[in-house]
Structures are given as C-alpha cells and as structure tokens.
Amino acid sequence: MKRVLIMDLLPGGHHARYIRWILECDACRQAEVVLAGMGELFEHAELKDVTGSIQTHHVQLSARQERIVGKYSSTTEAVRRQFTIWKIWREIYEKVSRTAQVDMVVLPYTDGSLEAIALRGSPFGATSWTGISMNMSFHYPYVGVKAPRQRFSVVREWLFRRALRDRYLTGLFTIDPTLYEYASSCLTERELQKLTYLPDPAVDHVLPSAVEARESLGIPQDAKVVLVYGKLSDRKGISLLIECASSSQCPPNIYVLLAGEQSPGIFDFLGGEAASFLQSQGRLKIIDGYVSDSDEARLLAAADCMWVVYPGFYTMSGVLVLAVRHGIPCMVPDYGLVGFLMGKPLCGLIVNPDDKTTVIAGLQQVSSYAEVLVAKGHIAMKAFSRHSIVEFQKTISAMMLNILERSQIH
C-alpha cells in the first residue's frame, strides 16, 4: 500500500475542513495516510469521524516546533518563518521516512513555506509533492483586484515561478481564479503545466425552512438577519457591524447573529456598550463555540445576509463560498479578492469598511429590498457553481493518484 504524508501547521479556520476533504478523497482511501501537525489539529471536531474510517497515523509536532511557529510582525520575521517551517517539514519527513518509504507529500497550505522551497529546494528529498496556495497577492495590480501593492512583489513573483520549476513538485493548486488567469498570460508552458485552479469548496447543506430555523434559534420571524460566522476575531469587522447596527440610522429590523469561537478581544468587545445596546433591543444573538454541520445549516437558513466585510482582508474567504453556495447574499468590502469576485457580476452588497455611511446604507438594503437581494443571491450561486466538495475532491484525487501511479512505476 502506498504511503501519503499530509502536513499542516494551522489547525484553525478552514484548514481542518480542507484536510478532512482531502482525507475523504479516493486517493487517500487507497493509501496509508500519515497526518502531521499540531496537537490541536488532531482534536478538531472536523477530523474525529473521518480519521477513524481511513488508515491514518498521527505525527504531532514537538513542543519546540510548535513554539517556534508563531505569528510575525515584520517582513524579516516572515522570511525567517518561511525557513523555519521548511526545516520543520524536513524534520517530519525524515522522521516518517525512517519507519517506511513516503510515496507522496501533500501540503494543504503551501504559502507558509513556498518561497523557502523556491530558494532551498524541496524539503522532501526525492519524493513527489503537491499542495494548495491560498494567499498569493503579487498579481493583484495586474488583474484589477484593489489591494495595497505587496512589498517586493516582483521578487515574490520570481520566487513563485521558481517554486513551480521544482523538479519534485508534481502540481500546485490555487484557490484564486485571478492568479490562474494572470499565470495563463505570463508563465512559460512548463510553469503553467504545474499550476491548477481549484475552486474553493463549501459544504452543500439541505437547509430547513427559515421559519423553522429562526424558531429554533429564538430569532424574530420578521427580522432581517445579518450573520457573522466562523472564527470570531477582530479581523472580521465585528465591531464595525455592531456599531453600525446600533446607529439611529440603521433600520430597527436589522438583527445581528454571531456564531463561532470568540477571540479574547471580541469577547471583551461584546461585553461593551454597543453590543449591550443591541442586546437590550433584542437585536443581537451570540452563539459562542464550534458550530456543527447541523447547526451551520440552521444558521444559513435563518440568515438574510452574510457579513464578509473583513477590514484589511484581501484574499479568498471560505465563509463567502459557503453563503453563496446556499443563495445567501453577502455584504463585502470594495477591495480585495472577495470584493472583486462579488463586484464583477454585481452579485454582492459592496461597502467601504472605512466609511460607516456605506455600511449603514448596505444594512438599509438588507432591511428593505428583499427582491434585489434574492436576485443577487441567485447570480452569485451561478457564478460559484464549480465550488463544490465533489469538484474539489475529484481535482485533488486525480493529481494524487497520478503521483502514486508514477511512484509505483519507479
């Protein structure tokens, strides 16, 4: 049986779901899988069921490895972190290889070490590898995505292209359609052959009725519900939404629904004056903690609009895809990849996070223009028709099976 090593250092956000979907694809069901990451990853609710049904072994990072993979606050530290992660990948690969041969390595998130790989080569010896890129932005100015110009963007593009030429990289996936569009116009044929567009997927739920969902959640049936979902942290613009919803200019039928694990900063903010005001009016509900699939379906069914106005956030959003796949209109910023994708077919409520009047105007649309919102939701669903788990697994599995078949020949 072939042996696949999957490694990821980021257990939060949508990483655990990505790993689950990879584990459940056909290629992994035909192989022995070694999953390496932080201890928190193996305890994640997304992986509890799936790892029991697939031949999977766990390799946990050491305390030293977990400690040195922290956040960074400068370009110098970001570069150093790339090489730190590269070294951790090599240490894990060598540890696993001592017990038996590794036939393929999969990195569900490559961006944390891709530039180091470009400069130092693969940390996986002569083993073929593949991975997913989620956060590249050097190409934004050339495709029309509004965002600050990335520092050293010319160098980052050169490193990206150099990584694609790594002899042991079988293929790199990108969830950004604009990156593939840009690459198609400027990469060499050899480089482009290594790059594959992978539509960012979301779970497809069968939703209960809005009436049933709101009744179970204790939400008024006549409310217009704006949902904020996922990891609830400062970066999601929650304080902006709460302050605008508390404004005297905001329609009184706007209801804010927050669902997900809270960061300490958000926990403190929700105990403050603005949130207390909304709660006193019966216009705010907070669900703190991990949300199961069944609860997720209820939240989506209860929502009139998904809030994706994340200040200073410029890359792809899994929450956006989840909402769009269920026909829920999204309020998005007027910049970044999210704003670009939702503005291109005019299927989003686009606001300026730096101008509260535009956010309040967006909330007024949610309050009053139901037909317009429904139309936007249907347009978005059509634009995101390929963003299914089936498509994701089919694309990933084809690449993995190709690698495993070639390793058998050799």
Residue where the block lists tokens 């569009």: 181
pLDDT of 71: 58
> What is the rounded CA–CA span in Å between residue 341 and residue 175?
12
At the topology level, CATH places domain 210-383 in Rossmann fold (3.40.50)
Number of neighbours of residue 261 by Cβ within 10 angstroms? 14
Domain with CATH 3.40.50.2000 in the chain: 2-201+388-409, 210-383
pLDDT of 67: 75
Which amino acid is residue 102, in one-letter code? Answer: V
Query: Of the candidates 222, 230, 206, which has an alpha carbon nearest to the alpha carbon of residue 255?
Result: 222
Query: Of the candidates 47, 50, 92, which has an alpha carbon nearest to the alpha carbon of residue 69?
Result: 92
Q: In CATH terms, is domain 2-201+388-409 a member of 1.10.3720.10?
A: no
Burial of residue 100 (number of CB atoms within 10 Å: 0-12, 13-18, 19+): exposed
> What is the rounded CA–CA span in Å between residue 292 and residue 299?
10
> What is the rounded CA–CA span in Å between residue 3 and residue 79?
31
pLDDT of 12: 66
pLDDT of 62: 83
In this prediction, the residues of the chain whose per-residue pLDDT falls under 50 are none
Query: Quick check: 241 and 228 in contact, CB under 8 A?
Result: yes
> What is the rounded CA–CA span in Å between residue 142 and residue 346?
21
> What is the rounded CA–CA span in Å between residue 149 and residue 139?
9
Residue where the block lists tokens 């609710």: 45
Joined tokens for residue 104: 């393929």
pLDDT of 126: 95
Query: Quick check: 96 and 59 in contact, CB under 8 A?
Result: yes
Buried (b) or exposed (e) across 363-388, using 16+ Cβ within 10 A?
Answer: bebbbeeeeebeebbebbbeebeebb
